[in-house]
């Protein structure tokens, strides 16, 4: 039940809130109940991120209440998991609640409040506008138990489940919101850096935030009154994050293996877990998990976390995306959006599924969805290491069966079938595999050679690392030293690179120079001054040495303003460090500019490159020199092959290929002073490239290389076909039969008894003879396998694979020959081994005897242990018998205690019954004595009853109130208690339909001389009894505070028809036009005019109005509406739907009118606000109910959009 605040307008000292999903509602209910039970003056609010907007109500808000549009929510829910979405919306909720002007406390849904927090929170916010709570106050021990210190550091030192913000933290909350939109998992990082952005106070209080992180450091104790303490202070909050009601034996299911906290060792903590689990069950927790509203599509397919992250990264590229707050407002609203469609939009996710089922750049053979499922599942990664390569068939089968059946991905997301490799064409031709400028040049060369090009030819020239179909002759074309060991041949553009990569045993290396582009020299542009050019390829930054070119330029032209250096930059995005180094080196000189392409009108190109990327640099320089631009280059590597002394200006190099920058400075000055010579060198360089690096020359070389490769491929295929040949291993296999021969013991000998001795020795050594035969058989088998491998490799050599392979095989044959020689030496030493084995056997016999002695001793020891164990069992049996006897004794004592308790209970019941009879007799005696000594009695026939307010006289024919008061002595005790809690001692209590004045007498006695009571009763006989009851039961000075209106309260002044009421008094109604003259009537009046006409009531405000006129109360209140709106008193109305309809009024309209006046409709029985339709529907079969018209607080409108929060949330109210 909700406790009624003393003043509805009072602002709470603290507002608490939480953010959760619908699946966490049981935990939210437990949190709200525990918080409000300890903070009856506080407010509590819950944001449910996946709740529909129409579910918003008291104590519960949705993202729409925070100003989040449906489109924005759909995008956020698609790109975030449940925890990420809750964390992302948390700063927005806190910022909105700060508009109330009081501190706001955020608690995680799994927090349970045990003691008040107001004092400690308010004291903390005085020291900082942001209050953080550390998870642990001391480092966790390094004992291999979880959670560990490293897990604490990874998760975050501060607990995001306990945050306090005060006015002044709005800027930090906006910063946190923007950061979480960019990186939803950045809560830890932002909280760690919060002290640099806002005034932070760290709350180092052991009574707050008890959890699996710190429970081992905080000893709990339970006092006699049930209070749980930590270090002598009451425990305030417990954070049950990770607690699973289905596994209540664990404090946190996240640390199930090697948990640091065992509940069996902490009984107080175990009791807390048991109580919390019961709270969750009462709050609606069931074993069946509630699905997260944004966790799956409309058809039930779950969204992988990796897919959400991919969606988020792509969405951030759109400046209007919810994940790009830094660009908010920069793009017009009518501009087309590039964000992928959301999964929870109006189309039920159809467009999102279409996007997620497309292949991406990383997995062109799969789909985004399938790749995300594979990435999120470690078992799938282990089962299919290459899901879109070698394991594509098996992974596709899993997706189509298990994946779809388990709702892990939709059918369109299943990867397509594996494309068959192109059919092999046994013809002379070439397949060029790769992309990029170099691949385009190689294709041009292949087409110029006249060779057929396309897929399926046996010779494949590969310029990347993509897989090649089987049974192909693979040729890798590589720059510099990036060789591949899986290729049959390696082609490089220069002799320098060939010398670097060629090695023994590796693939054959051949040179295929690339042709220079055939372009015309550009027309002069007439630029002023001197323009130098340079190339900055950050992919080979050190080898390119563009900073050397910059240094040479600056040293050569320190004071000349008519020179400029334009640097063509590439690869800056992939190598930001190198790009920044270049920008910083050139920023101070305005003569140096960074451009995208080389200026074709430059007067000279500078390249003082180092050794290491010769082919790449030479390829770029050839393209510039083909335009007629003179080049100043370092003289080494592939560049030295490209130019000669007359076609380029060479910079000398030191040892190791380091160019001489000082020499380059002098050469630059010379070229700047003699431009004609520079132009002549540029023209000569262009002519040299046209003579030596032509497309025809490169195409002829390529044709020769491809024909040679094709012949080698044909020879290899022919060698793979089986050919009949004599097995060279046959002699060795025949020789193995010699191991099966038995020795001849019958051979003649001069030694007497020689045959018999041979038999005896042979029998003694039979075991070792068999062993030696096994050893020799193994040795011979090893030799046979070795020779077989040698023969196989010799056969490969005969097929003409290459000189390198022959050399390798020769070395391996020599190695195996040496190994065979060592094996022969081992065979010769076998006789000595037999002697050593005999000695070992003697030693084994001794050790066997020692082992037998040890077994006998161990058996005796075990026998003694068995006797001791039997004695222990006997002792345990005796102890068990004693325990059973004690249990029997305790059972008998318990029976005696229960019997004694039952007897005492019977005595108490009899005494209570006798006391009840005595009380009834005393009540009758008091009534008779009062009637006997009464000096004056009303003229109305009445009966006297004794009540809690005194002796009251009621009409003798009252069949409703009289019996109840005679037997109980009280009337409507719950309503009376509620009125007492609301009435103002100096205000006015209005009792409409006062009848004989029960409430009138009670309130006069309660208010005393400070307040006033107005009783409204149209029935003359009831008015007489009311005056009598007031006079008899109250002192005269108190009775004078009564104002009696002997008319019917109505909306207008006039005459009303009166008829006797079944509950006493009269019931009034509008007087019909055809009423007879003798009909009973009463006077009607407007109460606001009546009250304003009483001088004693001037300056007082209405405090409580009680209307006991079912079906007529709204008419009575209509005559008081002006004072109701002025004073806003609490009104208690006896409401009857049927009686309201009997005078022609609609009950629903009547109740809605009260809301227009500024009142909430609260049934007294439930104490919860309800709509008019619900109240009328609930009255089905009821005569009337008591309504509490509770005035809504009137507060100044706060700045900005606000979230409606209720004044007080019931501890047991469902959120």
Gap between the Cα atoms of 641 and 650, Å rounded:
12
Backbone torsions φ then ψ of 1140, nearest 5 degrees = -65, -40
For residue 1160, the model assigns a pLDDT of 92
Indicate whether 160 and 243 sit together in one domain.
Answer: yes
Same domain, 51 and 171: yes
Q: Give the whole-angstrom CA distance, residue 678 versus residue 684.
A: 10
Q: Which pLDDT score, from 0 to 100, does residue 86 have?
A: 95
Structure tokens at 168: 């002044």
Q: 345-349, 1102-1106, 1131-1135 — which is least confidently predicted?
A: 345-349
* Residues facing residue 953 across a β-bridge: 944
* 966-989: burial string, b at 16+ Cβ within 10 Å, e else: beeeebbeebbebbeebbbeebbb
Supply the CATH number for residue 1016's domain. Answer: 3.40.50.150
What CATH number has the domain bearing residue 471?
Answer: 3.40.50
| Rounded Cα distance, 125 and 104, in Å | 10
Q: Judge whether 375 lies within some domain.
A: yes
**358 domain residue, yes or no:** yes
What is the domain extent for residue 372? 305-413
Rounded Cα gap, residues 42 and 118, in angstroms = 9
| Residue 97 located in a structural domain | yes
The residue among 267, 282, 297 that closes a domain is 282
How many whole angstroms from its chain centre is CA 283?
24
The DSSP symbol for 455 reads: T
- In this prediction, residue 765 carries a pLDDT of 73
CB distance 236 to 115 below 8 Å = yes
Last residue of a domain, one of 813, 833, 849: 849
Q: Quick one: tokens of 167?
A: 């006015």
Number of separate domains in the chain: 6
Residue 670 maps to which CATH number? 3.40.50.2000
CA nearest neighbour of 265 among 231, 215, 228: 215
Give a yes or no: residue 1150 inside a domain. Answer: yes
Residues 449 and 556 in one domain: no
pLDDT score, position 1203: 44
Q: What is the DSSP letter of 302?
A: B
Rounded to 10 deg, the angle between the 998-1007 and 1020-1033 helix axes is: 30
Of the residues 849, 869, 897, which one is the last residue of a structural domain? 849
Among 350, 369, 370, 368, which Cα is nearest to 359's?
Answer: 368
| pLDDT of 204 | 93
Query: Is 708 found in the same domain as 601?
Result: no
| 1101/1169 same-domain check | yes
pLDDT at 807: 60
**Residue 1078 lies inside a defined structural domain of this protein:** yes
Tell me: do 1088 and 1131 sit in the same domain: yes
Can you give the CATH number for the domain in which 219 is found?
3.90.550.10
pLDDT tens, 799-850?
554 555 556 666 677 677 667 656 655 654 554 444 345 445 544 655 676 6
Which band of pLDDT confidence, cut at 50, 70 and 90, is reported for residue 5? very low
Write the pLDDT tens digit of every residue in 892-940: 889 888 888 888 888 888 887 777 777 666 666 666 666 655 566 687 8
Residues 185 and 266 in one domain: yes
Q: Quick one: how far is CA 1082 from the chain centroid? A: 72
Q: Does residue 119 share a domain with residue 55?
A: yes
Which tokens in the block code for residue 278?
């019961």
User: Do both 315 and 184 map to the same domain?
Assistant: no
What strands lie across the sheet with 1054-1060, from one edge to the other?
A: 1048-1049, 1081-1085, 1054-1060, 1066-1070
pLDDT digits (tens, 9 = 90+) for 1163-1205: 998 889 999 898 888 888 778 889 999 998 865 555 544 444 4
What is the rounded CA–CA span in Å between residue 1129 and residue 984?
10
Quote the pLDDT of residue 465: 81
Q: Are residues 610 and 654 in the same domain?
A: yes
- Specify if 321 maps to a domain: yes
Residue 26 parent element (H or E) = helix 25-38
| pLDDT per residue as tens digits for the range 65-107 | 999 999 999 999 999 999 999 999 999 999 999 999 999 999 9
Which is nearest to 567 in space by CA: 624, 647, 636? 624
Whether residues 226 and 163 share a domain: the answer is yes
Residue 742 lies in a domain: no
Burial of 910 (0-12, 13-18, 19+ CB in 10 A): exposed
Task: Answer yes or no: do 222 and 264 share one domain.
Answer: yes
Higher pLDDT, 4 or 152: 152
Tens of pLDDT along 445-485?
Answer: 999 998 899 888 999 999 888 888 888 999 999 886 655 55
Q: Against a cut of 0.75, is the pTM above it?
A: no
Percent of the chain at pLDDT > 90 equals: 40
Residue 278, in any domain of the structure? yes
């Amino acid at each position: 039940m909700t406790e009624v605040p003393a003043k509805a307008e009072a602002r709470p000292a603290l507002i608490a809130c939480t953010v959760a999903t619908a699946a966490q509602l049981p935990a939210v209910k437990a949190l709200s109940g525990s918080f409000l039970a300890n903070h009856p003056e506080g407010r509590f609010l819950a944001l449910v991120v996946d709740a529909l907007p129409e579910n918003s109500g008291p104590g519960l808000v949705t993202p729409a209440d925070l100003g989040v549009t449906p489109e924005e929510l759909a995008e956020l829910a698609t790109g975030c998991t449940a925890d990420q979405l809750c964390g992302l919306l948390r700063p927005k909720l806190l910022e909105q609640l700060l508009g109330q002007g009081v501190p706001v406390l955020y608690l995680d849904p799994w927090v349970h409040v045990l003691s008040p927090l107001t004092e400690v929170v308010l004291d903390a916010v005085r020291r900082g506008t942001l209050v953080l709570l550390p998870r642990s106050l001391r480092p966790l021990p390094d004992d291999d138990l979880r959670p560990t210190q490293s897990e604490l550091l990874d998760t975050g030192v501060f607990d995001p489940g306990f945050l306090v913000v005060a006015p002044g933290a709005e800027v930090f909350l906006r910063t946190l919101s923007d950061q979480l939109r960019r990186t939803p998992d950045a809560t830890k990082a932002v909280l760690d850096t919060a002290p640099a952005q806002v005034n932070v106070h760290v709350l180092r209080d052991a009574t707050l935030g008890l959890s699996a992180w710190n429970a081992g450091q905080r000893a709990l104790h339970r006092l006699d009154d049930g209070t749980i303490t930590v270090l002598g202070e009451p425990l305030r909050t417990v954070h049950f994050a990770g607690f699973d009601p289905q596994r209540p034996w664990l404090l946190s299911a996240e640390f199930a293996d090697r948990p640091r906290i065992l509940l069996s060792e902490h009984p107080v903590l175990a009791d807390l877990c048991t109580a919390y689990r019961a709270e969750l069950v009462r709050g609606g927790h069931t074993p069946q998990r509630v699905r997260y509203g944004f966790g799956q599509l409309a058809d039930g397919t779950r969204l992988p976390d990796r897919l959400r992250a991919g969606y988020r990264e792509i969405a951030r590229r759109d400046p209007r995306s919810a994940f790009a707050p830094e660009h908010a407002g920069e793009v017009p609203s009518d501009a087309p959006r590039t964000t992928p469609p959301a999964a929870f939009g109006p189309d039920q996710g159809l467009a999102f599924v279409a996007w997620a089922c497309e292949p991406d750049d990383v997995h062109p053979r799969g789909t985004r969805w399938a790749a995300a499922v594979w990435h999120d599942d470690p078992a799938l990664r282990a089962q299919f290491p290459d899901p879109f390569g070698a394991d594509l068939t098996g992974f596709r089968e899993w997706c189509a069966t298990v994946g779809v059946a388990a709702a892990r991905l939709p059918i369109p997301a299943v990867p397509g079938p594996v494309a068959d490799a192109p059919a092999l064409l046994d013809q002379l031709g070439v397949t060029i595999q790769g992309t990029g400028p170099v691949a385009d040049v190689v294709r041009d060369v292949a087409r110029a050679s006249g060779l057929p090009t396309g897929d399926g030819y046996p010779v494949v020239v590969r310029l990347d690392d993509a897989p090649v179909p089987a049974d192909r002759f693979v040729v890798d074309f590589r720059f510099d030293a990036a060789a591949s060991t899986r290729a049959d041949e390696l082609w490089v553009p220069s002799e320098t690179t060939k010398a670097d990569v060629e090695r023994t045993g590796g693939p054959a290396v051949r040179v295929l120079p690339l042709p220079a582009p055939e372009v015309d020299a550009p027309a002069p542009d007439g630029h002023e001054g001197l323009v130098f050019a340079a190339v900055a390829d950050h992919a080979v930054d050190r080898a390119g040495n563009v900073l050397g070119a910059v240094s040479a330029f600056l040293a050569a032209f320190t004071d000349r303003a008519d020179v400029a250096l334009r640097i063509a930059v590439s690869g800056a995005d992939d190598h930001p460090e190198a790009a920044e180094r270049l920008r910083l080196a050139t920023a101070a000189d305005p003569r140096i500019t960074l451009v995208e392409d080389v200026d074709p009108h430059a007067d000279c190109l500078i390249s003082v490159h180092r050794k290491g990327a010769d082919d790449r640099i030479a390829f770029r320089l050839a393209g510039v020199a083909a335009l007629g631009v003179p080049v100043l280059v370092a003289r080494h590597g592939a560049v030295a092959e490209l130019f000669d002394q007359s076609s380029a200006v060479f910079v000398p190099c030191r040892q190791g290929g380091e160019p001489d920058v000082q020499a380059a400075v002098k050469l630059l000055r010379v070229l700047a002073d003699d431009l004609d010579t520079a132009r002549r060198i540029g023209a000569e360089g262009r002519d040299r490239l046209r003579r030596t690096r032509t497309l025809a020359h490169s195409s002829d070389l390529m044709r020769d290389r491809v024909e040679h490769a094709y012949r080698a491929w044909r020879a290899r295929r022919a060698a793979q076909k089986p050919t009949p040949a004599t097995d060279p291993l046959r002699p060795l296999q025949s020789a193995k039969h010699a191991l099966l021969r038995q020795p001849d013991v019958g051979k003649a000998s001069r030694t007497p008894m020689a045959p018999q001795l041979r038999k005896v020795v042979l029998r003694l050594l039979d075991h070792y003879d068999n062993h030696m035969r096994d050893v020799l058989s193994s040795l011979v088998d090893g030799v046979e396998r070795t020779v077989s491998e040698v023969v196989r490799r010799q056969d490969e050599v005969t097929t003409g694979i290459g000189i390198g392979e022959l050399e390798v095989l020769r070395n391996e044959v020599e190695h195996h020959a040496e190994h065979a020689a060592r094996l022969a030496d081992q065979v010769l030493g076998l006789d000595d081994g037999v002697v050593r084995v005999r000695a070992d056997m003697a030693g084994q016999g001794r050790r066997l005897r020692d082992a037998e002695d040890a077994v006998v001793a161990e058996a005796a020891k075990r026998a003694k242990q068995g006797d001791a164990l039997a004695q222990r069992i006997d002792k345990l049996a005796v102890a068990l018998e004693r325990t059973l006897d004690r249990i029997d004794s305790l059972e008998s004592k318990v029976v005696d205690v229960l019997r004694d308790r039952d007897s005492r209970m019977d005595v108490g019941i009899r005494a209570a019954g006798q006391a009840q009879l005595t009380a009834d007799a005393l009540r009758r005696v008091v009534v008779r004595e009062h009637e006997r000594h009464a000096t004056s009695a009303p003229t109305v026939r009445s009966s006297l009853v004794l009540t809690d307010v005194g002796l009251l006289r009621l009409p003798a024919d009252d069949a409703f109130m009289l019996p109840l008061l005679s037997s109980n002595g009280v009337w409507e005790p719950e309503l009376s208690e509620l009125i007492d809690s609301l009435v103002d001692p100096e205000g006015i209590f209005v009792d409409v339909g006062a009848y004989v004045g029960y409430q009138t007498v009670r309130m006069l006695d309660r208010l005393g001389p400070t307040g006033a009571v107005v009783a409204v009763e149209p029935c003359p006989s009831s008015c007489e009894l009311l005056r009598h009851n007031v006079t008899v039961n109250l002192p005269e000075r108190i009775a004078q505070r009564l104002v009696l209106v002997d008319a019917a309260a109505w909306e207008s002044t006039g005459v009303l028809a009166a008829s006797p009421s079944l509950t006493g008094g009269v019931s009034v109604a509008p007087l019909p036009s055809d009423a007879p003259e003798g009909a009973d009537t009463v006077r009607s009046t407007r109460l606001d005019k009546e009250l304003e006409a009483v001088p004693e009531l001037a300056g007082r405000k209405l405090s409580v109005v009680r209307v006991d006129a079912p079906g007529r109360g709204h008419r009575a209140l209509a005559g008081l509406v002006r004072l109701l709106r002025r004073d806003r008193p609490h009104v208690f109305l006896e409401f009857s739907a049927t009686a309201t309809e009997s005078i022609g009024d609609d009950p629903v309209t009547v109740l809605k009118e009260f809301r227009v006046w500024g009142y909430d409709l609260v049934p007294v029985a439930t104490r919860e606000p309800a709509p008019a339709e619900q109240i009328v529907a609930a009255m089905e079969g009821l005569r009337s109910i008591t309504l509490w018209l509770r005035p809504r607080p009137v507060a100044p409108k706060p700045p900005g959009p606000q979230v409606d929060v209720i004044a007080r949330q019931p501890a047991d109210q469902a959120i």
